[in-house]
Amino acid sequence: MRHKTVTVPVRGLDWKGLGYTVSIVSVFLLGAIAWPKENDPAWHVAVLIVGMATSILGMGFRYKAHLDQQRELRKTERKVEKRES
């Protein structure tokens, strides 16, 4: 008799997604503290906004790469399961 290992997918908290969300919130909090004062050059506002936006965009790219990797792993697991059956 052949025994087969059964894996049950568990859908839990996506810790990586939560980490990126916390990082995005921190970007806004730090941006609020760093917001230029009245006597600062006008270009400080633009640089701060671009810096915040690129940081958030980078986190979005990394999270998308994480989701793509997870999707590829599930696809590979399904292929292996089909071969074993």
**Structure token pair of residue 79:** 């292929």
pLDDT in 10s for each residue of the chain, 85 residues: 555 555 555 578 899 999 999 999 999 999 999 999 999 999 999 999 999 999 999 999 999 999 999 999 999 999 998 888 7
pLDDT of residue 7: 55
Q: How many residues does the chain have?
A: 85
Closest CA to 59 of 27, 14, 20: 20
pLDDT of residue 67: 95
Q: Give the global pTM.
A: 0.75
| Secondary structure (DSSP) of 57-74 | HHHHHHHHHHHHHHHHHH
Q: Which residues contact 31 (CB under 8 A, 6 or more apart)?
A: 48, 49, 52
Q: Which amino acid is at 39?
A: N
Q: Which sequence spans correspond to the domains of the chain?
A: 17-84
